[in-house]
Amino acid sequence: MIINIQSLEKNSSKLIKSIDDFSNNISNIYNELNWVSGYWNDYHARLFFTSVESERIKINKTYDELVLLKEVYKYIISQYKSIGNKLKVNLETKDDILNKFNLFNDKVNEIISLYNDLDLSFCSDVASKINSQKSKLLKIKENIISAKTKIKSTLEKIEEIEKNINFKLSKIDIEVIKRVDINEFM
C-alpha cells in the first residue's frame, strides 16, 4: 500500500469546497424552478412541478452521500497523519518482518548464553572487556525488542485503520436515480 498524506490533505480541502458548491448549485436550481412554478400554470405544469419536487429530494441525497465520502477521507488523513507523511508498506509481509526480528533476537540470545557459559575466573584481565561486550549485546537486544514492538504496533494500527475504512466505505450506498419521460410534461 502507498499513501501520500500531504497530497490527500491538499485534495481533501478542494473536495470540501466542491461539495459545498454542489449543494449551493442544486439549491439555486430548485429554488429557481420552484419560483417559476408561479408563472406557468396548466395541466403539464402541475405534472412537471410535482415531478421536480420528488427529483429535488432524490438529488439532495447526493449531498449526504458526498459528505459521507468526505468523512472517510477525513478519517484517512487524521489517522495516517500521526504515522507519517508518506507510507509505503506491504501488510502481507508483516509476519515475515516480525519473524526476522525474532530470528535476530534468538541469535543474540544464543550469543549472550555463550557469554554466560564462559568461566572468566582464570582470566580476570579480559573479564571486564568480555562483560562490557556482553552489556553491549544486551543493549542491542533491548533495542531489537523495542524496534519490533514499535513496528508491530504501527503495522497493527495500519491494519485497524484499513479495517475501519473498509467498514465506513461499506456503509456508503450511492442511490441510483433515473430520468423520467419528459414527453408527459409537454
Binding residues for other proteins (CB under 8 A):
1-5, 7-8, 11-12, 14-15, 18-19, 21-22, 25-26, 28-29, 32-33, 35-36, 38-45, 48, 52, 55, 59, 62, 65-66, 69, 73, 76, 162, 165-166, 169-170, 172, 174-180, 182, 185-186
169-180 per-residue burial string, b: 16 or more CB within 10 A, e: under 16: eeeeeeeeeeee
User: Residue 16 or 111: which CB sits closer to other proteins?
Assistant: 16
- Asked if residues 1 and 89 have their Cβ atoms less than 8 Å apart, the reply is yes
Closer of 88 and 117 to other proteins (Cβ):
88
3-class DSSP assignment, residue 87:
strand
- Residue where the block lists cell 470540501: 16
CB of 128 to other proteins, least distance (A): 53
Spell out the residues 6+ positions from residue 179 whose beta carbon is closer than 8 angstroms to its own.
none
3-class state of residue 3 by DSSP: strand
Minimum CB separation from other proteins for residue 148, in Å?
Answer: 24
User: Least Å distance between CB 121 and other proteins?
Assistant: 59
Amino acid identity for residue 133 in this structure: Q
CB burial of 44-65 (b: ≥16 within 10 Å; e: otherwise) equals eeeebbeebeebbeeeeebeee
Q: How far is the CB of 157 from other proteins (least distance, A)?
A: 14
Q: Which is nearer to other proteins, 27 or 149 (CB)?
A: 27
Q: Alpha-carbon Rg of the chain, whole angstroms?
A: 32
Q: How far is the CB of 83 from other proteins (least distance, A)?
A: 13
User: What residue type is assigned to position 148 of the chain?
Assistant: K
Q: Kindly tell me which of 116 and 186 has the beta carbon lying closer to other proteins.
A: 186
Nearer to other proteins, 27 or 143 (CB): 27
Nearer to other proteins, 74 or 141 (CB): 74
> For 38, which DSSP code?
G
> C-beta of 6: minimal distance to other proteins in Å?
8
